[in-house]
Structure 1
Amino acid sequence: MKLATYLDTDLGVPRVGLVTDDGLYPFAVRHSMRSLIEAGRDVLDRAADHARAAEPLDLAEVELMAPIEPASVRDFVAFEEHVEGVRRSVDGVSGVPDAWYEAPAFYFTNPHAILGPGAEVPFPAACEARDFELEVAVVVGAEARSVSAQEAETYVFGYTIMNDWSARDLQGREMQVGLGPAKGKDFATTLGPWIVTADELDPYRDEDGFLDLLCTVSVNGVEVGRDRLSNVGWTFETMIAYASRDSRVVAGDVLGSGTVGNGGCLAELWGRRDAQDPPPLQPGDVVTLEVEGIGTLTNTVGVAPPAPDLPPVRRRAPAARLR
């Protein structure tokens, strides 16, 4: 199934719909994407059958929203080529850290700044190095704690496209402190156009169990990068297993694959070419991500109003710190 969230303009509320070649079939108002995921596949199947009994809406005439309000968002960095290029661009160092090969590293980003298809992306006003990141995300279907990669297969609900928008100049400055990205990332993440349930993508698995999907990104209609999702270092099941290790994932959690290689973001190309070529995104630029088997996600680059200045740090002499 393809499951979308759209704005019901008559009721003024988000609603879930089933997307088919015939259009969008609205689910009952009581359902949200999170509630359907939490209820399990049997409830979802019955709700879909009930929705199909009505007339579909014209998909071109509805306003799609982000398909889910995630419980949390973890973003992995699972493509070796991306790590190498961006590390050179953002951190000024070459190579891939040995630790990258030991486990699928991730950071938490902001689940309260999720945007949907067609939305304008409000980059921080202080940012000049605006960038996109082409990713696929897995949506967790049930609570899990310390599951194995083999067990994690049953915890996959579906997949969506993810754009982890990046303010590279802010990111490079703040990561000098030794922590993960924060203000360089937390202003916006785009998900969409819908969630494709796991069974729909099973035919795309290669002999090693990796999803083999063609992923492309274009800016203003000009292709910038393309890669195959099967070039990822770990399966989504392994990512779920690692996220759950000594911890907890729940239904509705979103886990991004990390940016694909071969131009999945501008910073990778900047690092490889030692120049901002192609140039950073500009206000008004239209960025389109397309993933085989899932769909197309398009957004326009915008700029947020300037944020208030922070007060200066209080510096204290070493002797004063001991008092």
Structure 2
Amino acid sequence: MKLVRRNTGSGPQLAVVDGSADLVDLPGEHDLVPLLDGRLQDAADAALRTRATVTAEADADLLAPLAPPTFRDFSTFPEHTAGIVKLFNPDATINPVFWEIPTFYFSNPHAIVGPTADVPVPPNCVDFDFELEVAAVVGRAGRDLSVEDAADHLAGYVVLNDFSARDVQFHEMSLLLGPAKGKDTATALGQYFVTADELAPRRSGSSFDLRMEVRVNGELIGSDRLDNMAWTFPALAAYASRGTEIRPGDLLGSGTCQGGCLAELWGRHGRDHHAPLGPGDVVTTSVELLGGTTNRVVAGAAAVPIEPFARAAEYRAQ
């Protein structure tokens, strides 16, 4: 089953995609997350029986299919990681910790945008980048889950493009904290939420046998397959639930696939390999069965100056 959220004059409206690719509204349902408690299938079946409101997908203003309460973004593609580390040291190799834990950072759920939304360049950013990923959506709450149990807590999947201000990100991470403002402006979600059962026939190794592609202004920049992940989505959910609780709607990003961002390509081929994103560029992602995103980059706001407390001069003088 595939679901979307479309924009209407009265706000977001949840709809299921029928066999003809038309969008059939789920009457009275505006948000995917409350239905993930087990009511989603019944609500979609009822909508398809009555077909009270049907909209052609081409005529719909599609939003992100859900508004996640939290967003954890992992790192699971070793080839991507191997390229990124060379951005700082050409002789660097993957940190062994990559194979010990599926590490993640918390990103901003309020920065989620839709599949065709304009994306502004973040303040103070020169090296603007994209990141092609797939995210799992938690469907059931759980705590301290095993990997085996965690599989039943995943409701479905969505394409994710994690736009990144690389210069801002690397500057702030020099303080040995995770990325913050470098990931804070926009994360685009694909048009479809696809339930887990739809992908079951494409199960392959660690993940699913699905081709992933990203283009800038129509030019293919990178491609990979989702089953090149080194950690499974249930492993991500199990780790996310360790010592805490995951809840319906929580988003678990796969991390960037091989060739799925400019920073990796800069690490492998040099900074001149491809220019950073700028106003007017159009970034298109696609993943088999899951859909994708097409976002135009636009000029953003200037940074508002922020000065440290006056005592900072005393510390600088020491």
| Same fold, judged at TM 0.5 (above) | yes
Q: 1:49 to 1:105 in 2, by over 3 A?
A: same
Q: How many angstroms apart in 2 are the aligned matches of 1:180 and 1:166?
A: 13
Task: Choose the corresponding residue for 1:297, options 293, 297, 300.
Answer: 293
What letter matches 1:247 in structure 2? T
Q: For residue 208 of structure 2, what is the aligned residue in structure 1?
A: 211
Q: How many angstroms apart in 2 are the aligned matches of 1:89 and 1:189?
A: 23
What letter matches 2:245 in structure 1? R
Q: How many angstroms apart in 1 are the aligned matches of 2:287 and 2:18?
A: 17
Q: For residue 172 of structure 1, what is the aligned residue in structure 2?
A: 170
Q: How many angstroms apart in 2 are the aligned matches of 1:26 and 1:278?
A: 42
SS at match of 1:193: coil
Contact 2:206/2:231 (<8 A) preserved: no
What letter matches 1:33 in structure 2? L
Superposed displacement of residue 91, structure 1: 7.2
Task: Choose the corresponding residue for 2:279, options 278, 283, 288.
Answer: 283
Superposed displacement of residue 46, structure 1: 1.8
Contact 1:90/1:168 (<8 A) preserved: no
**Percent of residue pairs bearing the same amino acid type:** 45
Unpaired runs of 5+ residues, structure 1, are none
Q: How many angstroms apart in 1 are the aligned matches of 2:61 and 2:200?
A: 29
Q: For residue 247 of structure 1, what is the aligned residue in structure 2?
A: 244
User: TM-score, length-normalised on structure 2?
Assistant: 0.94
Q: How many angstroms apart in 2 are the aligned matches of 1:214 and 1:175?
A: 32
Q: 1:79 to 1:209 in 2, by over 3 A?
A: closer
User: After the TM superposition, which residues 1-323 of structure 1 pair with which residues of structure 2 at under 5 Å, given as runs?
Assistant: 1-9=1-9, 11=10, 13-22=11-20, 23-38=22-37, 40=38, 43-52=39-48, 53-54=50-51, 55-89=53-87, 94-206=92-204, 208-261=205-258, 263-313=259-309, 314-315=311-312, 317=314
Q: How many angstroms apart in 1 are the aligned matches of 2:91 and 2:163?
A: 22
Q: Deviations over 1:242-301 (max 9, x none)?
A: 00011110000000000001x110100000012231111121111111001111211111
Q: Deviations over 1:139-189 (max 9, x none)?
A: 000111011110011101000000110111111111110011111111111
User: TM-score, length-normalised on structure 1?
Assistant: 0.93
SS at match of 1:7: strand
Unpaired runs of 5+ residues, structure 2, are none
Moved over 4 A (4+): 90-93
Q: How many angstroms apart in 1 are the aligned matches of 2:16 and 2:89?
A: 43
